[in-house]
């Protein structure tokens, strides 16, 4: 499926000069300040996509800034973006009914401020009012990672103002390419290797977004490492011989769970600050227990286990008590379920399941245990949730080479995230920046 932003140059041209003049009245824009305590009247609900008309922008790098923000909002899949190709920025009071006829429930007005930042105004069309106005700084040099992240954060805040839910643009995705650890912005820009992580598998993000954990293959086995992305420091967490893999941080960031063992594997957890001894979570008795993923409250863990003679997904309390089979249905013809990922809102676990001999992405509801299949084409595996609990990133060979793809689980909309050499084992970060 293709991502398209509604571009309506023909409509704009058809309006003619008289219509353009009708958009601008004498009252200056900055006089239209929102009332104290005013909240947006637009609320996102499933199956709806309010239209957002993005007015033209002038100034240094205006086209790039507008394109990045517009694309970010479109990729959020909660807003229908209306973005004319060109035009003169509007500086006066807006003709709200006209924009309403163009399908807009809200209007986004951007302008560069004297400090080099971005002045953002969001209008609610139905109420004929400004509901948000603010100046946002833009960090870093033009087109640098910090510069782009500032724009992503602004886009997320705009989405929050329109729908009540912040976007996911100010995030990154970890993945494995050529045996090394890489990261990429959520819009598919800026793929680069993580320094020092030349041999890595199964990466995960710390809730702070400043650290990552992953499995490293060495001559004496596999080890679980934690790397600080700010300082570059790295330390080995696992101390056992044999296979150590599939790390997962607890939601509070204080604990790391991972799989370890020689004759079969079990789940263990360890305090990152070294304040407590290692804790055993599972007692597998020779079975393979791996791929832990925490519930948002940290009280439970979902994981893959072979204790039934085939890979299935179980849930247990974080201390190992009360284990239960999660994937109880006969969904999938070969009864093979793995790669669990617990959604940030706690409602679903995404996983891989074999159907007609190929892995596909599915989700299971924690309340009703209802299973939904999300992919059918080629081989798809290793799902990881975005912070909005709506989007998944996963590995697929649908382009003939394994790449990362992003799925909107509500609409089924897909976009390819990585290109080039084969990429796999994705992990979506928490929100890394907030517009201020």
CB 394 within 8 A of CB 385: no
Nearest to 78 by CA among 389, 341, 424: 389
Task: Specify the pLDDT at position 76.
Answer: 97
Taking residues 349-377, what's their average pLDDT? 95
- CA 76 – CA 169 distance, rounded (Å): 8
Q: What would the pLDDT profile of 210-249 be if each residue is shown by its tens digit?
A: 999 999 988 778 999 999 999 999 999 988 888 999 999 9
Taking residues 398-406, what's their average pLDDT? 97
- CA 177 – CA 47 distance, rounded (Å): 36
Task: Specify the pLDDT at position 322.
Answer: 96
Helices (H), 264-343: none
Task: Specify the pLDDT at position 200.
Answer: 94
**Which residue is listed with tokens 């509604």?**
6
Q: What would the pLDDT profile of 259-274 be if each residue is shown by its tens digit?
A: 999 889 999 999 999 8
Nearest to 89 by CA among 116, 65, 124: 65
Q: What would the pLDDT profile of 45-92 be if each residue is shown by its tens digit?
A: 556 799 999 999 998 899 999 999 999 999 999 999 999 886 777 777
Task: Specify the pLDDT at position 23.
Answer: 38
Task: Specify the pLDDT at position 292.
Answer: 98
Nearest to 231 by CA among 212, 256, 217: 212
Taking residues 113-138, what's their average pLDDT? 95
Residue that wins the pLDDT comparison between 5 and 310: 310
The DSSP call for residue 25 is -
Task: Specify the pLDDT at position 1.
Answer: 45
Taking residues 85-110, what's their average pLDDT? 89
CB under 8 A, 24+ apart: contacts of 31-38: 32/93, 32/121, 32/129, 32/130, 32/133, 33/130, 33/133, 34/129, 34/130, 34/131, 34/132, 34/133, 35/129, 38/129, 38/131
- CA 29 – CA 297 distance, rounded (Å): 44
**Which residue is listed with tokens 């970010």?**
72
Nearest to 320 by CA among 365, 351, 289: 289
Total residue count of the chain as it appears in this document: 436
Please list, in sequence order, all residues whose beta carbon lies within 8 angstroms of the beta carbon of residue 75, skipping any fewer than 6 positions away.
Answer: 3, 168, 169, 186, 187, 406, 415
CB 106 within 8 A of CB 50: yes
251: confidence class by pLDDT, cuts 50, 70, 90 = very high
The sign of the dihedral angle between the CA atoms of 215, 217, 219, 222 is: positive
33: confidence class by pLDDT, cuts 50, 70, 90 = very low
Nearest to 312 by CA among 300, 323, 321, 322: 323
Kindly state the tokens that stand for 215. Answer: 């499995």
Nearest to 95 by CA among 27, 174, 189: 27
Task: Specify the pLDDT at position 427.
Answer: 98
CB under 8 A, 24+ apart: contacts of 195-203: 195/232, 196/227, 196/232, 196/234, 197/227, 200/176, 201/176, 201/245, 201/425, 202/176, 202/245, 202/246, 202/247, 202/425, 203/174, 203/175, 203/176, 203/425, 203/427
Mean pLDDT of the residues in the chain: 88
95: confidence class by pLDDT, cuts 50, 70, 90 = very high
Kindly state the tokens that stand for 43. Answer: 């609320």
Taking residues 122-142, what's their average pLDDT? 96
Q: What would the pLDDT profile of 304-314 be if each residue is shown by its tens digit?
A: 999 999 999 99
Task: Specify the pLDDT at position 40.
Answer: 44
Task: Specify the pLDDT at position 137.
Answer: 97
Taking residues 346-365, what's their average pLDDT? 96
Q: What would the pLDDT profile of 81-94 be if each residue is shown by its tens digit?
A: 999 886 777 777 89
4: confidence class by pLDDT, cuts 50, 70, 90 = very low
Taking residues 187-198, what's their average pLDDT? 94
Q: Is pLDDT at 411 greater than 50 in this prediction?
A: yes
Q: Is pLDDT at 300 greater than 90 in this prediction?
A: yes
φ, ψ at 333 (rounded to 5°): -75, -20
Task: Specify the pLDDT at position 88.
Answer: 78
Domains and CATH numbers, the chain: 9-163 (3.40.50.10070), 172-428 (2.120.10.30)
Task: Specify the pLDDT at position 86.
Answer: 67
CB 325 within 8 A of CB 335: no
- CA 125 – CA 174 distance, rounded (Å): 39
């Amino acid at each position: 499926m293709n991502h398209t932003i509604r571009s309506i140059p023909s409509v704009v041209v058809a309006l003619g000069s008289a219509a353009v003049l009708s958009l601008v009245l004498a009252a200056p824009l900055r006089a239209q300040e929102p009332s104290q305590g005013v909240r947006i009247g637009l609320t996102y609900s499933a199956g709806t996509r309010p239209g957002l008309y993005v007015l033209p922008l002038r100034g240094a790098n205006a086209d790039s800034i507008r394109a990045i923000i517009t694309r970010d909002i479109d990729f959020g899949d909660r807003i229908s973006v209306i973005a004319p190709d060109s035009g003169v920025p509007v500086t006066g009071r807006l003709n709200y009914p006209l924009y309403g006829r163009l399908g807009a429930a809200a209007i986004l007005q951007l302008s560069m401020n004297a400090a080099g930042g971005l002045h953002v105004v969001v209008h609610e069309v139905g109420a004929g009012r400004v509901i948000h106005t603010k100046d946002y700084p833009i960090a870093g040099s033009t087109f640098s990672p910090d510069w782009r992240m500032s724009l992503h954060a602004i886009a997320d805040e705009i989405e929050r103002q329109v729908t009540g839910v912040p976007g996911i643009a100010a995030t990154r995705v970890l993945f494995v390419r050529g045996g090394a650890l890489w990261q990429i912005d959520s819009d598919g820009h800026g793929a680069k290797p993580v320094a020092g992580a030349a041999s890595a598998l199964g990466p995960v993000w710390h809730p702070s977004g400043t650290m990552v954990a992953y499995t490293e293959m060495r001559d004496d086995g596999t080890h679980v490492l934690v790397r600080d992305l700010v300082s570059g420091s790295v330390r080995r967490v696992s101390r056992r011989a044999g296979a150590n893999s599939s790390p997962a941080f607890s939601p509070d960031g204080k604990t790391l769970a991972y799989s370890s063992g020689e004759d079969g594997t079990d789940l263990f957890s360890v305090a990152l600050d070294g304040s407590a001894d290692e804790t055993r979570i599972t007692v597998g008795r020779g079975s393979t227990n791996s791929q832990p993923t925490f519930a948002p409250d940290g009280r439970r863990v979902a994981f893959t286990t072979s204790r039934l003679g085939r890979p299935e997904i179980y849930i247990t309390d974080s201390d190992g008590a009360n284990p239960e089979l999660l994937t109880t249905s006969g969904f999938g013809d070969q009864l093979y379920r793995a790669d669990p990922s617990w959604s940030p809102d706690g409602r679903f676990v995404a996983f891989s399941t074999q159907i007609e001999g190929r892995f596909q992405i599915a989700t299971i509801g924690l309340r009703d245990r209802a299973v939904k299949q999300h992919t059918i084409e080629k081989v798809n595996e290793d799902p990881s949730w975005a912070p909005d609990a709506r989007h998944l990133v996963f590995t697929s060979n649908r382009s003939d080479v394994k790449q990362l793809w992003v799925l909107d689980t509500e609409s089924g909309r897909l976009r390819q995230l990585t290109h080039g050499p084969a990429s796999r084992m994705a992990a979506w970060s928490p929100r890394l920046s907030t517009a201020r």
